[in-house]
Chain A
Amino acid sequence: MHLPAILPWGAADGFSKQMLLVILSVVIIATFFLLAARKQQLVPGKLQFAGEMAYGFVRNSIAKDIIGGRDFMKYVPLLFSLFFFILVNNIYGAIPVIQLPSFSHVGGAYVLAVIVYITWIGIGIQKNGLRYFKLATVPSGVPVYILPIVIPIEIISNFLVRPVTHSLRLFATMLAGHLIVMIAGSGIEFLVMQENVLLKGTSVLVLAGAIAMYMLEALIMALQAYVFTLLTAIYIEGALHADSH
Chain B
Amino acid sequence: MNQLIISAATAEAANPLVPNPWEMGVVLAGFAVLFFIVVKFVVPMFEKTFAERAEAIEGGIAKAEQAQAEASAALEEYRQQLTEARAEANRIREEARAEGALILAELKEKAASESARITAQAHVQIESERQAAVVALRSEVGTLATTLAGRIVGESLEDDARAARVVDRFLADLETQNAGVAK
Contact = CB atoms under 8 A, between A and B. Distances in A.
Q: Is the interface of A mostly helix, strand, loop or mixed?
A: helix
B31 interface: yes
Contacts of A1: 8, 11, 14, 16
B30 A22 contact: yes
B24 A111 contact: yes
A105 B30 contact: no
Contact of B43 (A80, A85, A107, A110): A80
B17 A106 contact: yes
A173 interface: no
Contacts of B27: 22, 102, 107-108, 111-112
Given A1-B14, A80-B43, A106-B19, A23 B30 contact: yes
A3 B7 contact: yes
B31 A55 contact: no
Contacts of A138: none
A42 B23 contact: no
A33 interface: yes
A174 B23 CA distance: 16
A77 B19 contact: no
B20 A51 contact: no
Contacts of B19: 105-107, 110
A26, A38, A182, most chain B CB atoms within 10 A: A26
B156 interface: no
A55 B5 CA distance: 40
B33 interface: yes
A106 B24 CA distance: 9
Given A2-B14, A19-B23, A108-B23, A77 B52 contact: no
A93 to B, nearest CB: 14
Given A38-B45, A107-B27, A19 B22 contact: yes
Contacts of A29: 34
B4 to A, nearest CB: 6
Given A22-B27, A111-B31, A189 B1 contact: yes
A76 interface: yes
Contact of B28 (A34, A38, A51, A111): A111
Contacts, number: 124
B87 interface: no
Contacts of B31: 26, 81, 85, 111-112, 115
Contacts of A33: 38, 42
B18 interface: yes
Interface residues of A, number: 52
A206 to B, nearest CB: 14
B106 to A, nearest CB: 75
B56 interface: yes
A72 to B, nearest CB: 12
A108 B34 CA distance: 14
Interface of B: 1, 3-5, 7-8, 11, 14, 16-24, 26-28, 30-31, 33-35, 37-39, 41-43, 45-50, 52-53, 56
Given A1-B8, A4-B3, A106-B19, 17 more contacts: A2-B7, A2-B20, A3-B7, A19-B23, A22-B26, A30-B37, A34-B37, A34-B42, A34-B45, A42-B56, A77-B35, A77-B42, A80-B42, A81-B38, A107-B20, A111-B24, A112-B31
20 contacts: A1-B14, A1-B16, A14-B22, A25-B30, A37-B41, A37-B46, A42-B49, A52-B49, A52-B50, A55-B43, A77-B35, A80-B42, A84-B34, A106-B16, A106-B19, A107-B21, A107-B24, A108-B23, A108-B27, A112-B31
